Chains A and B, each alone.
Chain A
Amino acid sequence: EIVLTQSPDFQSVTPKEKVTITCRASQNIGTSLHWYQQKPDQSPKLLIKYASQSISGVPSRFSGSGSGTDFTLTINSLEAEDAAAYYCHQSSSLPYTFGQGTKLEIK
């Protein structure tokens, strides 16, 4: 099973700040890594697919990068509505797995 480890677990940030969340895979997954945002009492929402591909309707301040075992989600100029939990997910091999999540709090 591929283990995904995110960092940090929690971050408190101010609006307009730039945020970087990392996800490390326990083995090479190429670019089969996706990022989701989950707000309280909502389903996860796809933000970035295949490490860096943007999703229609997702604000351009969200971007992703990386390949192999190290990946990054970047949020430029954070907005209050970005307060949420963020998860990475690999679809390289079954069983699919998720990172433990990063909770973003807006100060």
Chain B
Amino acid sequence: QVQLVQSGAEVKKPGASVKVSCVASGYTFSYYSMHWVRQAPGQSLEWMGWINAGNGNAEFSQKFQGRVTITWDTSASTAYMELRSLKSEDTAVYYCARDELGIDYWGQGTLVTVSS
């Protein structure tokens, strides 16, 4: 069965960076694009970006352009999302999510808390 297992919770200070990993299993990793979506406390879901399996390129929401990097290591079936210059407003649960012409499977989420 498809599983996406993310790294554990993080606490960061404003201005720092965080890197979240997502290990996939149960399918051929490189055949499917991977999205990153976040959810601030009590809020809806917000798409951050994805890595396109078709060409290996990453694309981002304009909101995060310049602050986020999305990569993957196909040999390790692992995707990564790094967010820099963290602010308190970046406190959220961050999800990786597999794409099949729409998001089907989600990781369990990684809570990132930004606090001084």
**CB of A24 closer than 8 Å to a CB of B:** no
**CB of A87 closer than 8 Å to a CB of B:** yes
- The reply to whether B44 and A91 form a contact with Cβ atoms under 8 Å apart is no
- The reply to whether A87 and B44 form a contact with Cβ atoms under 8 Å apart is yes
- The reply to whether A91 and B101 form a contact with Cβ atoms under 8 Å apart is yes
Task: Give, as a whole number of angstroms, the nearest-CB distance from B7 to chain A.
Answer: 15
- Chain B binding surface, main DSSP class: strand
Number of B positions contacting A (CB below 8 A): 21
- The reply to whether A89 and B45 form a contact with Cβ atoms under 8 Å apart is yes
- Name B47's closest neighbour in chain A (CB-CB): A96
Q: Scoring B residues 39 to 56 as 1 if CB is less than 8 Å from chain A, else 0, what string do you get?
A: 000001111001000000
Q: State which size class the interface on A falls in.
A: 10 to 19
Assembly CA distance A97 to B103 (angstroms): 11
Task: Give, as a whole number of angstroms, the nearest-CB distance from B34 to chain A.
Answer: 12
- The reply to whether B101 and A98 form a contact with Cβ atoms under 8 Å apart is no
Assembly CA distance A86 to B44 (angstroms): 10
**CB of B66 closer than 8 Å to a CB of A:** no
Assembly CA distance A101 to B46 (angstroms): 12
In the complex, what residues of A have CB within 8 A of residue B46's CB?
Answer: 98
Which of A15-23, A41-49, A73-81 is the contact stretch?
A41-49
Task: Give, as a whole number of angstroms, the nearest-CB distance from A23 to chain B.
Answer: 12
